[in-house]
Structure 1
Amino acid sequence: MQAPAIISDATLAFIEREVAIDVASCGLDLLPSTARGYGCQVAADRSRITLFLKRSEAGQLLHDVLVHDRIAAVFCLPATESALQIKGRAVSLSLADVAGLAVVAQHARQFVAGVLPLGHERTFAEAYMQIAPADTVALSFSPEVVFEQTPGPGAGRPLQDQVTA
């Protein structure tokens, strides 16, 4: 029997917004590795999340998540600093397909539109989100727990029950 999906409607709507995405893991030595995400796609049944990363920036992270099978992703809305963290396992890696590249392009447009009112120049925002299709990889995982990460007294509080193995 498959575990119930933990991605609520509100979580789905938030992580598919104009959020900054930071992806993290660690090696077997517990040293952290991080990379920037360039978009997010959630499976229809919400059992898998796919993050799109720049392979040329994410070498250590990609190695660590595939060896250690642990991943954490933080989704932060620049306008408010509201943030969620999703942790998971069952990580897999592939090249981004055409549908994934469309997600990356849409996310870049949303992110740029979201940071312009904050005073960032369009050229900066577009450069920040630039990623070559040939350098784009899709990192998928099964979410296990979602945390509130907005700075303040609720930071670190789980939003849903953890998936138990």
Structure 2
Amino acid sequence: MAAQGYATPTDDQETWREASPPPGRLPVHLVAFVQGGVAPILGVRGINGRPIVGSAVACRVREMSVLRLFLDCARNAPLLEAVSAGSAVAATFSRARDHRSIQVKAASALLCEAEPGDLTEIARQCAILSDELVDLGYTRSQAQAYVAFDPTCLAVVEFRPDRVFTQTPGPGAGAELRR
């Protein structure tokens, strides 16, 4: 990223071009970003055609190509129903300190079970985000409430991204990241 201390869409575009990931694989920097204590948001189209948005608590990447987002079952029931019915998905990952944001899209996703090690990784990512929020002026209790989740009520939404976009605020936001 640029030395100015904040992220820009141009930074995202340059970093993507320099990474040159193999077809079907995500670049290392993107994998690190989505697993680095960011705030993930998942959007789908509901059964009635209207948009539904939900907050995830973390994301794990498998095989450098499959994103696994963890969501609270109770708060996201309509969203999970839409995924189950075959909705396309759009996941946006935003970093609190500089608003760097990346969006990935896929034509469909699957509902899956949690795997060994997921809870440890979710807790690690939530701790990073919580500490960052405290650094930005949130109280510790506010930051912990923001990242709180019930480990007994997690759903896993899994998909392979078809397209990746920079959503970092500034000129060029919304541009697709391509080789």
Taking structure 1 as the reference length, the TM-score comes to 0.89
Residues 120 and 35 of structure 1: CA distance in aligned 2, closer, same or farther (over 3 Å): same
Q: Deviations over 1:49-73 (max 9, x none)?
A: 0000000111111111221331111
Aligned twin of 1:4:
23
Q: Counterparts in 2 of 1:75-114, with a 5 A limit?
A: 75-114=93-132
C-alpha displacement at 1:28, in angstroms? 4.4
Q: Partners in 1 of 2:107 and 2:25 — Cα distance?
A: 13
2:129 counterpart SS class: helix
Q: Is the 8 A contact 1:83 1:148 kept in 2?
A: yes
Partner of residue 38, structure 1: 57
Larger strand percent: 1
Query: Per the alignment, in what secondary structure is the counterpart of residue 23 of structure 2?
Result: coil
**Which residues of 2 match residues 119-134 of structure 1 at below 5 A?**
119-134=137-152
Whether the 8 Å CA contact 1:20–1:78 is kept in 2: the answer is yes
| Distance apart, 1:91 and its partner CA | 1.2
Looking at structure 2, the residues matched to 142 and 63 of structure 1 have their Cα atoms a distance apart, in angstroms, of 19
Alpha-carbon shift at residue 5 of structure 1 (Å):
2.0
The structural deviation recorded for 1:151 is 1.3
Mapped contact 1:82–1:149 kept (Cα < 8 A): yes
Structure 2 residue matching 1:110: 3-state secondary structure: helix
Of stretches 65-74 and 143-152 in structure 1, the one that deviates more from structure 2 is 65-74
Alignment correspondent of 1:13: 32
Residues 51-62 of structure 1: matches in 2 within 5 Å? 51-62=69-80
Q: What SS does the corresponding residue of 2:29 show, helix, strand or coil?
A: helix
Q: Is the 8 A contact 1:51 1:138 kept in 2?
A: yes
CA distance in 1, matches of 2:95, 2:77: 26
Does the residue aligned with 2:85 lie in a helix, a strand or coil?
Answer: helix
Structure 2, gaps ≥5 residues long: 1-21
> Matches of 1:43 and 1:89 in 2, distance apart?
18
Instruction: Tell me what 2:3 maps to.
Output: none
State the distance in 1 between where 2:58 and 2:43 align. 15
**C-alpha separation between the residues in 2 aligned to 1:14 and 1:23?**
16
Report how many residues are paired.
158
Please report how far the alpha carbon of residue 40 of structure 1 lies from its aligned counterpart in structure 2 after TM superposition.
Answer: 0.6
Percent of residue pairs identical: 28
Paired with 1:90 and 1:36, the residues of 2 have a C-alpha distance of: 18
Normalised by the length of structure 2, the TM-score is 0.82
Amino acid aligned to 2:23: P
- Distance in 2 (alpha carbons) for counterparts of 1:74 and 1:20: 8
